[in-house]
């Protein structure tokens, strides 16, 4: 555990992991092929031919605040709280919990046994996602909203973020729609350095090159593809330090060009 922390100016980011999923790569990315995965990304595919998207979260220390970005899956064997303990992140000290979007693998530890997991925190969610997921016809089929989001609103712990929401003077949201209607990423700007908390704009290092591959979970594929191309181009140009959620642990890196091909370069 040497590289689970990085900094952007005065902002400290600690990578946290709740667990990992498993799926056939062409099931997760229907536009990909097994040949490409085997030939170009053997390190991402296990002996059974599966890829393993990580359920990643982040602890961010900025302007005197301790912020958790996304809270993983929790069930059935989520390791987030153990991982926080191991990395010196005290859940009782968390000031804010920011959700990039309201999918089940990003809100899983909002509450534990019906009580807020982070007792002193206020919770922030994108307003556009809230508006979508709380529609009666949607919420009735979304147990994770009923169990991990609505109670926060009833407890008056939930604030909704409009576009370009300033979380601290160093952290500002950016609308990156497509994966969900209200999906956000977070721009980090501090002491002349730039970072970016990607959320689910991309799910795999393979998308550094194959930016047109949409994971099956993107709700609006055309918009997600447009967002991904725009954002990854910009991050390559800026050389920003990028924190990812679903890339392999610890998920910090940069999009860089090597021999004419864009790759994910681990920090």
- Site residues (vs Zn ion, CB under 5 A): 105, 200
As beta bridge partners, residue 124 has: 98, 159
* Residue 16 backbone dihedrals phi, psi, to 5 degrees: -125, 150
Task: Give whichever of 200 and 218 is closer to Zn ion, judged by the CB atom.
Answer: 200
* Least distance CB 7 / Zn ion (angstroms): 25
* Least distance CB 92 / Zn ion (angstroms): 26
Residue identified by tokens 């576009």 is: 163
Q: From CA 48, how far away is CA 46, in angstroms rounded? A: 5
* Least distance CB 10 / Zn ion (angstroms): 28
* Least distance CB 161 / Zn ion (angstroms): 18
Q: Which two tokens stand for residue 49?
A: 């031919």
Half-sphere exposure of 114 (CA within 13 A, CB side): 0
User: Environment class of residue 252 by beta-carbon count within 10 Å: exposed (0-12), middle (13-18) or buried (19+)?
Assistant: buried
Task: Give whichever of 9 and 104 is closer to Zn ion, judged by the CB atom.
Answer: 104
Task: Give whichever of 117 and 244 is closer to Zn ion, judged by the CB atom.
Answer: 244
Closest CA to 101 of 144, 137, 66: 144
* Helix, strand, or coil (residue 111): strand
* Least distance CB 259 / Zn ion (angstroms): 31
Task: Give whichever of 170 and 200 is closer to Zn ion, judged by the CB atom.
Answer: 200
* Least distance CB 244 / Zn ion (angstroms): 10
* Least distance CB 203 / Zn ion (angstroms): 7
Looking at residue 23, what DSSP letter applies? B
Biggest CA-to-CA distance, the chain: 53
* Residue 261 backbone dihedrals phi, psi, to 5 degrees: -125, 135
Task: Give whichever of 190 and 207 is closer to Zn ion, judged by the CB atom.
Answer: 207
Closest CA to 260 of 188, 221, 209: 209
Task: Give whichever of 108 and 195 is closer to Zn ion, judged by the CB atom.
Answer: 108
Task: Give whichever of 56 and 253 is closer to Zn ion, judged by the CB atom.
Answer: 56
Residue identified by tokens 């009666």 is: 136
CA–CA distances in Å: residue 93 to residues 61, 207, 225: 11, 35, 37
């Amino acid at each position: 555990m040497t590289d689970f922390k990085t900094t952007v100016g005065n902002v400290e980011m600690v990578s946290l992991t709740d667990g990992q999923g498993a799926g056939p790569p062409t099931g997760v990315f229907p536009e990909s092929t097994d040949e490409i995965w085997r030939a170009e990304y053997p390190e991402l595919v296990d002996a059974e031919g599966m890829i393993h998207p990580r359920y990643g979260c982040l602890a961010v220390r900025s302007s005197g605040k301790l912020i958790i970005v996304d809270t993983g899956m929790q069930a059935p064997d989520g390791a987030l709280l153990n991982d926080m303990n191991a990395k010196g992140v005290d859940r009782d000290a968390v000031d804010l919990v920011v959700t990039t979007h309201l999918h089940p693998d990003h809100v899983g530890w909002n509450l534990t046994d019906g009580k807020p997991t982070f007792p002193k925190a206020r919770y922030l969610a994108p307003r556009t996602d809230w508006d979508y997921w709380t529609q009666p016809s949607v919420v009735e089929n979304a147990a994770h909203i009923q169990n991990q989001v609505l109670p926060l609103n009833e407890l008056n712990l939930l604030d909704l973020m409009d576009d370009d929401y300033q979380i601290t003077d160093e952290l500002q949201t950016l609308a990156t729609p497509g994966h969900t209607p209200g999906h956000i990423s977070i721009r980090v700007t501090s002491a002349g350095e730039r970072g970016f908390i990607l959320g689910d704009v991309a799910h795999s290092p393979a998308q550094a090159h194959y930016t047109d591959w949409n994971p099956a979970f993107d709700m609006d594929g055309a918009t997600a593809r447009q967002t991904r191309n725009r954002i990854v181009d910009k991050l390559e140009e800026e050389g920003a330090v990028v924190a990812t959620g679903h890339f392999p642990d610890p998920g910090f890196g940069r999009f860089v060009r090597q021999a004419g091909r864009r790759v994910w370069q681990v920090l």
